[in-house]
Homo-oligomer: A and B are copies of this chain.
Amino acid sequence: MIQTNHAHLNLMIELDRFDLQLLAELQANGRASNAQLAERIHLSASQVSRRIQRLEQEGLIERYVALLRAEALGLGVTAFVSVSLERHGEQQTGTFDEQVGTMDEVLECFAVSGDADYLLRVLTPSLPALSDFLLHQLMRLPGVRNVKSNIVLSGVKHTTQLPLKHLHHGRR
């Protein structure tokens, strides 16, 4: 379920100040040019290029994406949905994970400790569409016992930028 990656302990000791700055900049602007980055972190463009390639290879940079404005695209309703399963067999959770993975409305799904088994973030155009999704898609999955949803009233913060300050201390 959790896959072991090439990138782990051995990588973290390889990150210097420049790498961390690069990661921070790229989190904020994934299309910054090497020249721009070079200027900001005081390095040559060619070094920036090489270091980014390294960071990509090492798996620290997962991918580059465009973030779209949900509201502008008619996606006005976000809900957090707690799901409890019937029995907790390997097979049961396996198919649930798989099915959820194919549902576009589910942006995030985590297995959590606590009352529920899963917590999902779901995005739909409207309340009827949400209701429809819950009743006809999610609750129809095998083994689903209970579904509880909290509608989002307003978004206070929503970022993809990981906190990196914990890496700034001892390294290089």
Contacts and interface: CB of A to CB of B under 8 A. Distances in A.
A85 to B, nearest CB: 12
Task: Report the copy number of this chain in the oligomer.
Answer: 2
B72 A28 contact: no
B59 A63 contact: no
A69, A97, A108, A163 pick with most chain B CB within 10 angstroms: A163
B97 A72 contact: no
B62 A23 contact: no
Interface in A20-53: 23, 26-31
B152 A112 contact: yes
Given A7-B69, A60-B68, A60-B69, 7 more contacts: A8-B71, A23-B68, A27-B65, A30-B64, A62-B67, A112-B150, A112-B151
24 contacts: A5-B71, A28-B65, A30-B31, A30-B66, A31-B64, A62-B68, A64-B65, A65-B67, A73-B167, A74-B166, A74-B167, A80-B119, A104-B165, A107-B161, A107-B162, A108-B158, A109-B155, A109-B156, A110-B153, A110-B155, A113-B151, A116-B150, A119-B150, A124-B163
